[in-house]
Structure 1
């Protein structure tokens, strides 16, 4: 049940590249976080240059204006190994699929609990499914 936000500087990625980015992220989430294939909720945000601020070399990683900020909000409980493999897979596969530099793949996970989700109709569906178990 991840919710994914992808932010980038406008004119850095063409419209035909966004589906490649989306698909690559989804495949990595399915592989490493074992989410269902139809559990896909993604939002892409293009920002003007003046709205897009980042360090070009924080932690000695040389980023360019092609940096992608990928924020993944998901249920807590994944292991450190699952998370690090996800990061590695995203950097490797995005660099080939888009193509782009691995240094420009910036990922942050935001974890929460079942009570923090409503998929519509004003209901906490994930709480209902855990109560049924």
Structure 2
């Protein structure tokens, strides 16, 4: 049940590339987090240069204007190994598919619980699922 926001500089990616990014994120979520194939909720945000700030060298990672901020909100419970494998797989997949630099794949996971989700109709649908379904 992840919700994904992807932010980027408006001049950096074309529609075709955004489609590749979207599919790569979803395939990697399925592979590492065992997300159902139809659990696909993503929003892409293009930003003007004056709206997009980042350190080009924080933690000795050399970033370029091709930087993607990928923010994933998801249910808690993944292991550190699942998360680190997810990061590596997604960066590698995107670097080969577009191509783009692995250094420009910036990922943030924000975890929460079932009560924090409503998928419509004003209901907390995930509270009514049995354990193991999500």
TM-score normalised by L of structure 1: 0.97
Can you list the C-alpha shifts for 1:5-40, whole angstroms capped at 9, x where unaligned? 000011101111000000000000000000100000
Q: Runs of 4 or more off by more than 3 Å in structure 1?
A: none
- The residue number in structure 2 matching 1:27 is 27
* Pairwise CA distance, 1:103: 0.2
* Pairwise CA distance, 1:98: 1.2
Distance 1:27 1:129 in 2: 24
- The residue number in structure 2 matching 1:2 is 2
The yes-or-no answer on 1:114 pairing with 2:128 is no
- The residue number in structure 1 matching 2:89 is 89
Residue correspondences, number: 132
The yes-or-no answer on 1:11 pairing with 2:11 is yes
- The residue number in structure 1 matching 2:128 is 128
CA RMSD of aligned residues (A): 1.2
Gaps of 5+ in 1: none
- The residue number in structure 2 matching 1:101 is 101
* Pairwise CA distance, 1:129: 1.2
* Pairwise CA distance, 1:119: 0.2
Distance 1:92 1:111 in 2: 23
* Pairwise CA distance, 1:130: 3.7
Distance 1:112 1:15 in 2: 31
Distance 2:33 2:115 in 1: 19
Distance 2:6 2:70 in 1: 5
Distance 1:97 1:39 in 2: 22
* Pairwise CA distance, 1:71: 0.3
